Chains A and B, each alone.
Chain A
Amino acid sequence: MDQQITRDDARSLLIRAGLSPSDERLDRLAQGLQAARAAAAALAAFEMGYRGPAPFRAPPASVRGLRGS
């Protein structure tokens, strides 16, 4: 992944998630996001064929309505 994630990129990504990052934290966040993006690029390049994530399975009736587990 050649594209550099800037402070403004980091700010935009976090605002999109409903967060309000302070200026002094943006450099570190941009670095972290850059590293995460590079790792994700390795996954994206991986040949996995026609494989999806684990299929959805409805929980048993006894646990419906629970918050998390």
Chain B
Amino acid sequence: MAADLHWLSIAEAAPLIQRRELSPVDLVDACLGRVEALDGRLNAFITVLADEARTAALGAADEIASGRYRGPLHGVPVALKDIFAVAGTPMTAAALIYGDVVAEEDSAATGRLREAGAIILGTLNLHEIALGATGINPHTGPARNPWNTGHITGGSSSGAGAGVAAGLFFAGMGTDTGGSIRIPAALCGVTGIKPTFGRVSRRGLLPLSWSLDHAGPLTRTVEDAALVMQAIAGHDAGDPASSRADVPDYGATLADGVRGLRLGVPDRYFGEGVDADVEAAFREAVRQLQNLGAEITEFTPPHTDEMPGAIAAIMLPEAFAFHQAAVRERPDDIGEDVRYRLELGAAYPAAEYIQALRFREMLVETWRQDVFSRIDLVATATTMVAARPIDKSDLSTTFSLIRHTNPFNLLGTPAISVPCGFTGDGLPIGLQLAGRWFDEATVLRAAHAYESTTDWHSRPPPL
């Protein structure tokens, strides 16, 4: 077993750790060995906290030996996108403009992971300041896709996608403003969930767009995503948008299957112009869910024509509002694509931003009344394309990556990506399932049911 420790799921490792048949020290060493062997090629990490992780693993082992087992994340190595504050560690946002900032205290998510006993292995590469979907970064270099290191991981949580897929750690924390958890999950062949807006605190994260930012995990299985969500979800007074909604026991309904669930497949917008391999894999996944008992229905998603403009009119001005000092004072230290988006954000008239906020209010109400009253879940391919070559990824690639994901940022609903196949070139494809606000349990349950009947998630990349 020792050689394959890094491929265990959290759910598999946890009982071994609890019974002291597996030491957190061995698990951390297995991951650090993997990082040493592979990260020169993958570029997933920005800072590796090897000494700190070994010390924490020894502490976890002692704690468990003394009968104080904290739960399924105890002793499990995780890593966080480098916009989550980790006390005493540089928080660079993979950007020159913030490269000298050292976090004074943990982010809320970092703290909750530590409380659950997780071992922080380090901080992860990303698209500069999380404002982009390819993961290409002129400062830190691109994280590389474990399925083909000449291809992008997707972003912005690029290191999290690459690292989870390559077995460098068991869970990677990401953020998602327009798809930045689900896109790298899809392109790297892992699971990623964007929870409901307000479900997971953003305290201690570098903001991109306050009203669209979400935090959530990337993992190798849906069950692992549920375990991490259980640890990080819940109200936090330090995030003004944090919800007081109760957090259910996600594990309690995970195995309930999809029989009787109403699965909506959009008849427009989503699916238009999708690559043939991606479309075929998506249609097969829907058939599989139908075979498992889901009721499939087509529906017309409301107001999709206006969605992209509304998202841009909110995200870009909010991003400029936060980063404006850097854009004014150090524009040449910002990568060209990110600078371009921030400058566009600077030029939006206030009325357009307000109009987009008004539209979002109406949109949420319309989807609540007209869509989620009739169906339980929306199913789409996560992205229109699989991972593109790094040297051929441009703005049109970004469009193809975000078109299916960012509507659910505008809506604020939970959405997950799970592996649903491979292209003819051997690159992963993702299935996206989105549910009602605060109903992560149904999203996880359906994704788990699908995953349980396929082996896409358990195939290792050819590293």
Interface residues of A (CB under 8 A from B): 10, 13-14, 17-21, 25, 28-29, 32-33, 36, 38-40, 42-44, 46, 48, 51-54, 57, 59-60, 62-63, 66, 68-69
Q: Does B103 contact A (CB under 8 A)?
A: no
B30-38, B40-48, B157-165, B200-208 - interface stretch:
B200-208
- Give the contacting residue for B347; candidates A14, A42, A63, A66; CB below 8 A: A14
In whole angstroms, what is the CA distance A32 to B352 when docked? Answer: 15
Task: Write out the residue numbers on chain B whose beta carbons fall within 8 Å of the beta carbon of A28.
Answer: 340
The verdict on A60 contacting B331 (CB below 8 Å), with A36-B313, A42-B305, A53-B358 known, is: no
Contact A66 B238 (CB under 8 A): yes
User: Which single member of B237, B327, B348, B361 contacts A54 (CB below 8 Å)?
Assistant: B361
- Interface membership of B344, Cβ < 8 A: yes
In the complex, what residues of A have CB within 8 A of residue B313's CB?
A: 36, 39-40, 43
Contact indicator B352/A43 (Cβ below 8 Å): yes
A-chain residues with CB within 8 Å of residue B362 when the two chains form the complex: 46, 48, 51
Closest residue of chain A to B329 (Cβ to Cβ) is A18
User: In the bound complex, do residue A43 and residue B203 qualify as a contact, i.e. CB atoms below 8 Å apart?
Assistant: no
Known contacts A63-B238, A69-B238; 16 additional CB pairs below 8 A are A18-B346, A33-B347, A36-B309, A36-B313, A39-B308, A39-B310, A40-B352, A43-B355, A46-B362, A51-B361, A51-B362, A54-B361, A60-B240, A66-B203, A66-B238, A69-B239
Chain B proximity of A62: nearest CB distance (Å): 5
**Nearest A residue (CB) for B347:** A13
Instruction: Given the known inter-chain contacts A43-B355, A54-B361, A69-B238, please indicate yes or no for A36 contacting B348, CB distance below 8 A.
Output: yes
Count, chain B residues at interface, CB 8 A = 43
B320 within 8 A of A: yes
Are A69 and B237 touching (Cβ within 8 A)? Answer: no
> How far apart are B238's CB and chain A's nearest CB, in angstroms?
6
Chain B, range 82-122, C-beta contacts under 8 Å to A: none
Contact A69 B306 (CB under 8 A): no
Contact among A13, A43, A51, A68 for B207, CB-based, below 8 A: A68
Shortest CB–CB separation between residue A61 and chain B, in angstroms?
Answer: 9
Could you give, for residues 109-138 of chain B, a 1 whenever the CB lies within 8 Å of some chain A CB and a 0 otherwise? 000000000000000000000000000000
What's the dominant secondary structure at chain B's contact region? helix
- Of all chain A residues, the one with the shortest Cβ separation from B207 is A68
B255 at interface, CB cutoff 8 A? no
A42 partner, pick from B203, B309, B346, beta carbons under 8 A:
B309
- B343, A54: Cβ atoms closer than 8 Å: no
Counted as pairs of residues, one from A and one from B, with CB atoms less than 8 Å apart, the total is 111
> In this complex, which of A17, A29, A38 has the most chain B Cβ atoms within 10 angstroms of its Cβ?
A17
Q: Which residues of A contact B201 (CB under 8 A)?
A: 69
Please, which residues of chain A bring their CB within 8 A of the CB of B351?
A: 44
Contact check, A62 vs B306: say whether CB atoms are below 8 A apart. no
Q: Which of A13, A14, A43 has most B Cβ within 10 Å?
A: A43
Query: Does B231 touch A at the CB level, under 8 Å?
Result: no
Q: How far is the CA of A43 from the CA of B355 in the complex (A)?
A: 7
The answer to whether A52 and B358 touch across the interface, beta carbons within 8 angstroms, is yes
A19 vs B323: C-alpha distance when bound (angstroms): 12
Question: Are A29 and B340 neighbours in the complex by a CB distance under 8 Å?
Answer: yes
Most chain-A Cβ atoms within 10 A of its Cβ — which of B203, B205, B359? B359
Given contacts A42-B306, A69-B239, contact A21 B343 (CB under 8 A): yes
A53 to B348, CA, bound (A): 17
Q: Which of B210, B320, B331, B340 contacts A32 (CB 8 A)?
A: B340
Quick one: which of A13, A63, A69 has the most chain B CB within 10 A? A69
Q: Are B344 and A62 in contact (CB under 8 A)?
A: no
Q: With A39-B308, A43-B306, A63-B238 known to touch, is A14 a contact of B343 (CB < 8 Å)?
A: yes
